[in-house]
Amino acid sequence: MEKKTIELVQSSFNKVAPIADIAAEIFYNRLFELDPNLQQLFPSDNKEAMKGQGNKLMTMLASAVAGLNDLDKLVPILENLGKRHVEYKVEPHHYETVGTALLDTLDIGLKEEFSPEVKQAWTDVYLTMATVMKKAAYDTVS
């Protein structure tokens, strides 16, 4: 992964981190808007449980973004995460919806700072992470 891509993702995530709770709420609202069927995979009827889910999401994302500097350590973590998501009934096609929701969330959160270059960096990073997770979970990259 290119150094510039990592720098763009890490610096833009640092701007989102202070509003992690809001970003998580935007993410899940967008995710459920894109695919209402995904609500059944989450405790969406319980506000406190969803807040906890949002905390998990942002913590995982922060760890992954920080880990971009050492992919040898990050890849096994992503592989395990992918395998765990199978237990949560996540299917390969859900990764595309999650990617869209993530990019939309960043667009809302970063506003004008979500430049085409930053968007491309996030797209590249997300596709890499999703590919690793899906390959480990389903032995496929479809």
Phi, psi of 139 (to 5 degrees): 55, 40
Angle between helices 94-110 and 3-16 (to 10 degrees): 70
Structural domains counted in the chain: 1
- Average confidence score pLDDT of the chain: 94
pTM value is 0.92
pLDDT band at 32 (very low <50, low <70, confident <90, very high): very high
Residue 53 binned pLDDT confidence (cut-offs 50, 70, 90): very high
Q: Assign 139 a pLDDT band (cuts: 50, 70, 90).
A: confident
Name the residue with higher pLDDT: 140 or 81: 81
Nearest-angstrom CA–CA distance, 129 and 118: 16
Residue 137 has pLDDT above 80, yes or no: yes
Q: Calculate mean pLDDT across residues 91-114.
A: 97
Phi-psi region of 18 (alpha: psi -120 to 50; beta: other; left: phi over 0): alpha
The percentage of the chain sitting over the pLDDT mark of 70, rounded to a whole number, equals 97
Segment 113-124, tens digit of pLDDT: 999 999 999 999
CATH number for the domain spanning 22: value is: 1.10.490.10
CA distance 104 to 109: 9
Q: Which domain holds residue 95?
A: 3-138
